[in-house]
Structure 1
Amino acid sequence: MNTTKRREIFTRFRQANPHPTTELEYSTPFQLLVAVILSAQATDKSVNLATRKLFPMADTPEKILRLGEIGLSPFIQRIGLYRTKTRNILATCQLLIEQHHSEVPHTRTELEKLPGVGRKTANVILNTAFGEPTIAVDTHIFRLANRTGIAPGKNVLEVEQKLLKVIPEEFRQDAHHWLILHGRYTCKARKPLCQQCLIVDLCEFKEKNLEETTPSPDL
Structure 2
Amino acid sequence: MAGRIQPLPRLQTPAPRWAQALRLRMAGPGGLYNLGNAFGLVTGLALYLAAGQGDTDRWWDYFVGSPAALALTISMVVFYVSGEAYHQAFAGPGAPDLARLRTGDLLSGHGAVMLGVGLLFLGQPLLAATAGALHAIGKYGSVLALPVARWATICRGAVVLSRLPAMAATLLALGRVAGELPFLSVAVLTPVTMLVCYGLWLVADVMLLRPVGRP
- Normalised by the length of structure 1, the TM-score is 0.24
Which of the pair has more CA radius of gyration? 2
Relative CO higher for 1 or 2, CA cutoff 8 Å, sep ≥ 6? 2
- Normalised by the length of structure 2, the TM-score is 0.24
Structure having the higher helix fraction is 2
